Amino acid sequence: MAQSMRTRLLRYYQGLEHTSYHSDTVHRLTLPFVNRLSTPISTTSKPIKRIPSLLEFCGGRQYTFDSPVSSSAPLYFPSRSYVFNDLLIDSSPSSVFPQLLPHLTCIKNFLLTHHHEDHSGSFGNILSHTSITPYMSRETEAILTHPAHTPYFPMFVYEHLLYGRPSVIPSDQLSRVISFPAPPPSSPFELNTIDPETKESVPGYIHFCPGHSPDHIVYHVPSLDLLFPGDVYLTPNSFFFRSDEDITRIIQSCEYLIELPSWDIMLCAHEPVYSGGKESMRKKLDYMVTTRDKILSLYAEGISEEKIAQIVFPRATKLRAMFILCGGDVSPINIVRSTLFGPLHRDGVKKSLAGVNDEVLNPLSRTKIEIE
């Protein structure tokens, strides 16, 4: 394994108590793990008070495989959920639920940021084994509870390999779900938590931020400079997309969150940023805009989609075997196609959202040959 990737993984998880490495060639974490994030956190802007009840759960699987183009490439993509006060944010894959369950005794509510399997995999388990009240967007509810998606949300083979099969969603418990229409920016949906030490209410607000998925929401706690962005932020410089990601709406959501006041800690599902979160989001925005403009410029020169992907994302060739395993659902060329033609939503998602939110499925703009 290249030293640069080894160094990146070490930096990626530096300071976390649960780090466990093994193998002569590949650094990997032992999954699942539980980490208590309850020590004082100092942000780039100001120190904030201790967060008394904040747990991080990480689930998923990891593999190592060899290919002609990438020796000992890690197929590794863990996903996190968080317990904040009396609120669970995302459920993690179903494989982490046994470790998650003992920490849910004092949890009152559950917030699901979007329907993707690494976030919703334990949703059925939560309905079956707890009395927690689930909150989600109307769009997420429509997708997860559509008749075509029972007893559980369908997945590609690679998703089963990474996260395992989602838990069965019990239809007789769906009446407990509280869903809400996509809140406008001027009036976010309020969902407060209770501080377990002071017993005081801590205001929290839900914002609609589609792009990574058409149903995506984020959770903001301004009094603690805290943002739970789900997958709006994955990494500052993504070089692959799922086929259903919408680059135009991702850019809009990043712009919206950067303008949102009072947040610096960014606890996302895959690469949390404990200080300087807004600056990291700004770097992602700049990268997405630059990438979009490069793609449009190259397409205007008559270059093919495949060649554009090779030019704009040269390092992606090292992970070619992984993209093949994903059957094209995860690939650099999806960024190109999202830029030129919009996202390619799965048929089940389109059927689920028909009549619920048709607008979010439509590309905001088609191919633009002219660059201003």
- Lookup: tokens for 151: 């007893």
Query: In the chain, what's the furthest Cα-to-Cα distance?
Result: 63
Lowest mean pLDDT among 51-55, 65-69, 109-113, 323-327: 65-69
* Residue tagged 């709006």 (tokens): 232
367 residue type, one letter: T
Share of the chain above pLDDT 90, in %: 42
Give the mean model confidence (pLDDT) for residues 223-229: 92
pLDDT (average), residues 231-235: 92
Q: Is the pLDDT of residue 278 over 80?
A: yes
293, two tokens: 């403009």
Q: Could you tell me if 57 and 32 are in contact, meaning their C-beta atoms sit under 8 angstroms apart?
A: yes
Confidence (pLDDT) at 346: 83
pLDDT for 90 equals 94
- For residues 58 and 359, the model is more confident at 359
The reported pLDDT for the residue numbered 37 is 55
Least confident of 26-35, 48-57, 228-237, 312-321: 26-35
Q: Across the strands, what pairs with 207?
A: 218
Sign of CA dihedral 344, 345, 348, 353: negative
Q: Does the structure show a pLDDT above 70 at 232?
A: yes
For 133-174, the pLDDT digits (tens) are 999 999 999 999 887 666 666 677 777 777 778 888 998 999
Stronger pLDDT, 82 or 99, i.e. the higher one: 82
> Which structure tokens are listed for 197?
């030490």
Name the nearest CA neighbour of 119 among 63, 154, 79. Answer: 79
- Integer Cα distance of 330 and 116 in angstroms: 13
User: pLDDT tier at 321 (50, 70, 90 boundaries)?
Assistant: low
Mean pLDDT across the chain: 79
Asked if the model's pLDDT at residue 204 lies above 70, the reply is yes
348-367, pLDDT tens digit by residue? 888 888 888 888 888 765 44
CA torsion, points 106, 111, 117, 122, in degrees to nearest 10? 20
More confident residue, 36 or 283: 283
Of 77-91, 303-317, 321-335, the range with the lowest mean pLDDT is 321-335
Residue 227: alpha-carbon gap to chain centroid:
13
Question: Up-side HSE of residue 275: CA atoms within 13 Å toward CB?
Answer: 10
pLDDT of residue 160: 75
Kindly state the DSSP code that residue 132 receives in the 8-state scheme. Answer: P
Q: Which domains does the chain have, with CATH numbers?
A: 31-361 (3.60.15.10)
Most confident range (mean pLDDT) of 1-10, 242-251, 349-358 is 242-251
Identify each DSSP E strand in the chain by its residue range.
33-36, 54-59, 62-65, 73-76, 79-84, 87-89, 109-111, 133-137, 178-180, 189-190, 193-194, 201-202, 205-208, 217-221, 226-228, 241-242, 265-266, 330-331
Range of lowest pLDDT (8-17, 37-46, 268-277, 332-341) = 8-17
Percentage, residues of the chain above pLDDT 70? 74
* pLDDT band (50, 70, 90) for residue 52: low
Average pLDDT (188-207) is 93
State which H helix or E strand residue 119 sits in. Answer: helix 117-120
- Specify the pLDDT at position 319: 66
Mention every residue, 6+ apart, whose C-beta is less than 8 A from residue 174.
127, 145
Residue written as token pair 């190259």: 298
Q: Which of 22-26, 198-202, 350-354 has the lowest mean pLDDT?
A: 22-26
Contact of 78 with 31, CB cutoff 8 Å = yes
> What pLDDT does 307 receive?
94
Structure tokens of 239? 């070089």
- For the chain, the residue count is 372
The amino acid sitting at 9 is L
